[in-house]
Structure 1
Amino acid sequence: MALAKTPVQDNAYAAALALLERAPLIDGHNDLPYVIRLDAKAKGDVAAYDLTKVHPETDTDIPRMQAGKLAGQFFAAYVPPNHPKPAGFALAQIALMQNVLAKHPKVFRPGLSAADVEAAKTEGRIALFMTIENGSAIDNELDALDAYSALGVRLMTLCHNGTHDWCDSATDAPRHNGLSAFGKDVVRRMNRLGMIVDLAHVSPKVMHDALDVSNAPLVWSHSNAFTLCDHPRNVPDDVLDRVAENNGIVMATFVPDFISQASRDWHRPAKDQYGKTPDGMDYQKAEAEIVAKSGPRPTATLAQYCDHLDYLAKRIGYDHIGIGSDFFGGVAPEGLEDNSTFPALIAELIRRGWSEEHLEKLAGGNMLRVMRAVEAAAER
């Protein structure tokens, strides 16, 4: 990773900074907890990692989150597919996030509701929302959702890159033709608890099943438009056409292979038929072989990312889109290298003619509406 370059200092960038001073910005997905856990020196120790300093080797730390004008951040308790102890792993990640809150109370406040984002904006802090990325973390126990909710978890991604006991993944062989009966009960229980159902990573059939079952808005916390880039993690048009009716939101992600068709195609030799890295593959060796055969990896760009936002806005409306970076310490698009680049994103959209109203909805207004609706559904 490299630090983001200084953005173009024009009128659009100045307007973007001014907009983000008054409008809350929410990022729907970031894997910082897993980055801290994998760090060779910190090994999961938040104090040893030291979030107060800039980490040029990755993309997320307090100085750059503040420079990016964030008011709300959804951090993931990522659980690797097929992990032998998924609940324990998820709980360890939750504990790590609680440690971040404890060590940096002047920077973060606990994120438990939409009201916490608004309060954080007023206070000059960031509302930290804890999420689970991979529903295998409940160990096939519905009541585990109640326990996670009590711990402060407010969103769960139903699966990750592997199909598990009740949910088919977008990047694995299907076993349930979508959601199993138990999987549908998971959606219903999450509705009752006021926990956001996240459909990033799930198969299109699961998306349709959840849309059929849920009585609250659904979220795709880090997915793009399949029509512009045919990665299986992106959302197909027949699903997009149901998002507005559900009052949900698709939060476009920064992952290069989900933005750029050229990047997606370049990577195909290192992926299996479902679009994921095969178990046991030496990924660095595989990428080196691709470079030797096809040349350097094509670069995804901020402009291409904004093409996805333009497409989504036209297809499903400005009320149903958001931002879900999926920063995870890996390769990022040119112009979206780290947490400091959110104003540059808003500036690019200003140059494209987006109105202030639409930009405020994209930045955080739409996600706040979804959060309130999920909270209201739970009260009912």
Structure 2
Amino acid sequence: MALLVALGTGVGVGLPLALRSGSSLQERLIAAQNILAQVPLIDGHNDMPWNIRKFAGGKLNTLRALETGLQHQDPWSKSAWSHTDLPRLREGRVGAQFWAAYVPCGAQYLDAVKQTLEQIDLIKRMVDRYSDYLRLAVDAKGIEESHQEGRIASLLGVEGGHSLGNSLGVLRTYYDLGIRYVTLTHTCNTPWADCSIAEADPHHPREGGLTHFGKLVIKEMNRLGVIVDLSHASSATMHHALDASRAPVIFSHSSTRALCNITRNVPDEVLKRLVKLFSLIFACFYESVVSCARRSWAYRFIPHINHIRRVAGIDHVGIGAGYDGINTTPQGLEDVSKYPYLFAELLQDPTWTEEDLRKLAGLNFLRVFRQVEKVREDLRRANALADETSITNEELKGQLQCIYQERSAVQSVVT
């Protein structure tokens, strides 16, 4: 009983062997909650801002259920894509959340920048409106301070390089607005980077990874302190980015190709390269990338974490569930309230130490973020200037020609 009281109150006791070998679920949940009280649970990717745009037209003033529980309000309660609200974030002991400023690939060459700015505005308005729950964070220190205050650090990421509009000036503006990672691609190529779909389909147009401008994007992200996110990228893009970046990179919501052989996942040769740059993969909960199937239990997700730990090491794994951007989850991990159950499950495995679990929860990403900030400060001291290069006409022409060919092929099938 004394042990359980200590765990429940956050006293820094270790996890004794007796708790490991014969503990009940309730005992392990208390132990998991103690760990998450000490270290912020940092999730790499959540798409709720897009669902607010999709279901509520981006209007927070009429969305009172965000604070009372969206699972009880239509259309959220009927949607397989909805897993997040403020009460469930607290129940799940989430300490920091990267909110995705996502817009669809169809906005590329149209109004992707405008839509992305609206999504950034939405996230910041959400943080302001629910300041009892949330606090905007732009650095590692802000995450730790938010956790100490009992608020959820809210960080901003842009999902998809198409949101840059092929402009380094737009990238710099996003940084000033609080963006701290950019996912280089989503489900479409940009004129300067290939996505994972290009790798999967031999007939899909491709550039072979990153173009010259794409490598300049990486360089400018390093200079600013914007984290390079390689989820959704092709293997060639992953390798080129790892070659080009001076700062650690992340995969904000990916899993391992060795256990689910699809190009959306990360191959072992890339996992091995994460060590040199002190980089990190946030493992995703999406059934399609976890088990290559429609339904599985939570334990089907855990082998992905263990595989990353085995290939890259414990210092290079985190959690990026992808909630609200996925429509199937492992049973037992149905929404953001379930994170303690994942840690309780890991507590049954004697190969996971308490320090390992602290690293998985948040210490690994805090290290990555501080290293990204160090690279930024080193470049500032070296008087590195903003890159004023524009994308070349050849890079734009090649991508636009590919799009024309794709649309022509579709049109010929339709007609």
How high is the TM-score relative to the length of structure 2? Answer: 0.79
- Take 2:157 and 2:60, find their aligned partners in 1: how far apart are those partners? 18
Structure 2: which amino acid aligns with 1:204? S
- Once the two structures are overlaid, the 10-residue window that deviates more, 357-366 or 12-21, is 12-21
- Take 1:165 and 1:301, find their aligned partners in 2: how far apart are those partners? 39
Which one has the largest radius of gyration?
2
Aligned match of 1:18: 34
- Take 1:232 and 1:124, find their aligned partners in 2: how far apart are those partners? 38
SS at match of 1:27: strand
Structure 1: which amino acid aligns with 2:355? E
Q: Aligned runs of 1:275-314 on 2, under 5 Å?
A: 298-314=294-310
Structure 2: which amino acid aligns with 1:369? R
- Take 1:107 and 1:202, find their aligned partners in 2: how far apart are those partners? 33
Deviations 1:120-179 (A, max 9, x none): 111000110011001111111111111100011111101101112111000132421000
**How many pairs align?**
336
Q: Are 1:29 and 2:45 counterparts? A: yes
Aligned match of 1:46: 60
- Take 1:150 and 1:220, find their aligned partners in 2: how far apart are those partners? 23
Q: Aligned runs of 1:331-370 on 2, under 5 Å?
A: 331-353=328-350, 354-370=352-368
Aligned match of 2:256: 225
SS at match of 2:210: coil
Match of 1:55 among 63, 70, 80: 70
Aligned match of 2:314: 318
| Maintained 8 Å contact 1:249/1:322 | yes
SS at match of 2:276: helix
Q: Aligned runs of 1:135-284 on 2, under 5 Å?
A: 135-172=161-198, 173-261=204-292, 263=293
- Take 1:195 and 1:101, find their aligned partners in 2: how far apart are those partners? 20
Deviations 1:181-221 (A, max 9, x none): 10000000000000010000000000000000000000000
Aligned match of 1:72: 96
Shift of residue 11, structure 1, vs aligned partner? 2.0
Deviations 1:308-343 (A, max 9, x none): 111111111000000001001622210111010010
Unmatched segments (≥5 aa) in structure 1? 1-7, 264-297
Pair 171,101 (structure 1): closer, same or farther in 2 beyond 3 Å: same
Structure 1: which amino acid aligns with 2:335? D
Shift of residue 49, structure 1, vs aligned partner? 2.2
- Take 1:47 and 1:199, find their aligned partners in 2: how far apart are those partners? 34
- Take 2:234 and 2:329, find their aligned partners in 1: how far apart are those partners? 24
Aligned match of 1:274: none
| Maintained 8 Å contact 1:79/1:133 | yes
| Maintained 8 Å contact 2:138/2:155 | yes
- Take 2:30 and 2:177, find their aligned partners in 1: how far apart are those partners? 40
| Maintained 8 Å contact 1:72/1:127 | yes
SS at match of 2:61: helix
Aligned match of 1:283: none
- Take 1:300 and 1:81, find their aligned partners in 2: how far apart are those partners? 29
Aligned match of 1:81: 105
Pair 47,332 (structure 1): closer, same or farther in 2 beyond 3 Å: farther
| Maintained 8 Å contact 2:295/2:328 | no
| Maintained 8 Å contact 1:24/1:363 | yes
Structure 2: which amino acid aligns with 1:183? G
Match of 2:144 among 114, 118, 128: 118
Shift of residue 114, structure 1, vs aligned partner? 0.4
Aligned match of 1:267: none
Shift of residue 222, structure 1, vs aligned partner? 0.4
Aligned match of 2:5: none
SS at match of 2:145: helix
Shift of residue 82, structure 1, vs aligned partner? 3.0
- Take 1:227 and 1:194, find their aligned partners in 2: how far apart are those partners? 31
| Maintained 8 Å contact 2:40/2:147 | yes
- Take 1:251 and 1:300, find their aligned partners in 2: how far apart are those partners? 19
- Take 2:86 and 2:347, find their aligned partners in 1: how far apart are those partners? 26
Deviations 1:54-106 (A, max 9, x none): 12222100000001111110000112113121101111100100110110111
Shift of residue 18, structure 1, vs aligned partner? 1.2
| Maintained 8 Å contact 2:25/2:344 | no
How high is the TM-score relative to the length of structure 1? Answer: 0.87
Shift of residue 356, structure 1, vs aligned partner? 0.5
Structure 2: which amino acid aligns with 1:70? V
Structure 2: which amino acid aligns with 1:46? L
| Maintained 8 Å contact 1:231/1:257 | no
- Take 1:197 and 1:300, find their aligned partners in 2: how far apart are those partners? 31
Q: Which runs of 4+ in 1 moved over 3 A?
A: none
Aligned match of 2:19: none
Shift of residue 9, structure 1, vs aligned partner? 3.5
Match of 1:327 among 323, 329, 334: 323
- Take 1:234 and 1:89, find their aligned partners in 2: how far apart are those partners? 27
| Maintained 8 Å contact 2:84/2:336 | yes
SS at match of 1:49: coil
- Take 2:62 and 2:265, find their aligned partners in 1: how far apart are those partners? 36
SS at match of 2:51: helix
Shift of residue 301, structure 1, vs aligned partner? 2.1
- Take 1:46 and 1:155, find their aligned partners in 2: how far apart are those partners? 24
